[in-house]
Amino acid sequence: MKRAYNFNAGPAALPLEVLQEAQAELLDFGGTGMSIMELSHRSKDYDAVHGRAQELLRKLMGIPEEYEVLFLQGGASLQFSMVPLNLLAEDQTANYILTGSWSEKALAEAAKVGQTKIGASGKEGKYSRIPAQEELAISGDEAYVHITSNNTIYGTQWKEFPYTKEVPLVADMSSDILSKPIEVSQFALIYAGAQKNLGPSGVTVVVIHKDLLSRSREDLPTMLNYNTHAKARSLYNTPPTFGIYLLGKVLSWVDRKGGVEAIARQNELKARLLYDAIDQSDGFYRGHAEADSRSLMNVTFNLATEELEKEFLAEAKEAGFVGLGGHRSIGGCRASIYNAVPVQACEALRDFMAAFKAKH
């Protein structure tokens, strides 16, 4: 067996150890004589897995007591709707900072629910940078301010989160959750689809300050109300048990590696390998993001012509690299280097980039 150099944007690489553990337990989980997928979600065996994953996420992210940790379904995309449905009252406005396609989508869903405004937009500059604090229009009476912490498609990332006065800050962290230490108390709500940094697709993590739970209207559909899931420990209905099980294994893996600090150091090293390859190429490779907004998770770049990009991608594929094509909306190239992508894969890509440049 030869594992691919997997630079997929999502679903993305999982730690090999995690896959091997799951493989070893697949037919008989913990002496039950069943796979984890075949257990009742009301059983003690599953409950322990569920509770352990919630506790580990709390520990690794340093999530304070005043927050609920929810495991939901519907992806980050359902959160685009659930956030305004629960948090945006009729007489209020939600403030969206636009830093890429995912923020635009989040805004579009909120606009179906209530009043919105745009606190800043990087669209004119092709979303190549994160706005500075002085550029943000935040009046102070909004229902919440929404940001996308890492822009998966454009390859930019907030380095310092915005100051929003007294307004609760909501963040879509789908593509950089658990990639570096953050101060959870800066946020009122954090959400993330699991399939980039946390596990397989099918689970969505929501971390929500308990104070916000009182905002939800009682006439919301039951499944769309955060209170339903908070009260039931995310066991109101059948949760995605296999996904949560794997999420727990990924969290244990992060813990064993030394936690989020250790992962962050490795992520910085990986990103530096690739950005150095771009910066030291005399313009052969051109980074999309401005230097101080560069994402440590998604490295986006172009070559001189589309022809050359096509050649690059074809040869890369030939050499065993997967997932290097840019998102269909912007083209170019993108290497997604989430937590589970090994340093060695980034070194191999750096070497490939140098060799391709030398040849052309």
Contact residues: ligand PLP, CB under 6 A: 10, 75-77, 102, 148, 152, 172, 174-175, 193, 196
User: Measured from the CB atom, is 153 or 349 closer to ligand PLP?
Assistant: 153
User: Measured from the CB atom, is 8 or 148 closer to ligand PLP?
Assistant: 148
Residue 276 bears catalytic tag = no
Helix (H, G, I), strand (E, B) or coil at 159: coil
DSSP letter (8 states) at residue 222: G
Nearest to 216 by CA among 203, 205, 206: 206
Q: Shortest approach of ligand PLP to residue 297 CB, angstroms?
A: 9
Q: Shortest approach of ligand PLP to residue 282 CB, angstroms?
A: 32
Residue 292 bears catalytic tag = no
Residue 196 bears catalytic tag = yes
Q: Shortest approach of ligand PLP to residue 42 CB, angstroms?
A: 26
User: Measured from the CB atom, is 175 or 339 closer to ligand PLP?
Assistant: 175
Q: Which of 180, 196, 249, 270 is catalytic?
A: 196
Dihedral (CA of 13, 18, 21, 22) sign: negative
Distances (CA, A) of 305 to 91, 282, 286, 332: 50, 15, 11, 9
17 within 8 A of 342, measured Cβ to Cβ: no
Question: Which helix or strand (DSSP H or E) is residue 167 part of?
Answer: none
Alpha helices in the chain (DSSP H): 16-25, 44-61, 75-87, 101-113, 226-231, 241-256, 259-279, 306-318, 343-359
Q: Which of 172, 176, 253, 270 is catalytic?
A: 172
User: Measured from the CB atom, is 86 or 148 closer to ligand PLP?
Assistant: 148
Q: Shortest approach of ligand PLP to residue 53 CB, angstroms?
A: 18
Active site residues: 102, 172, 196
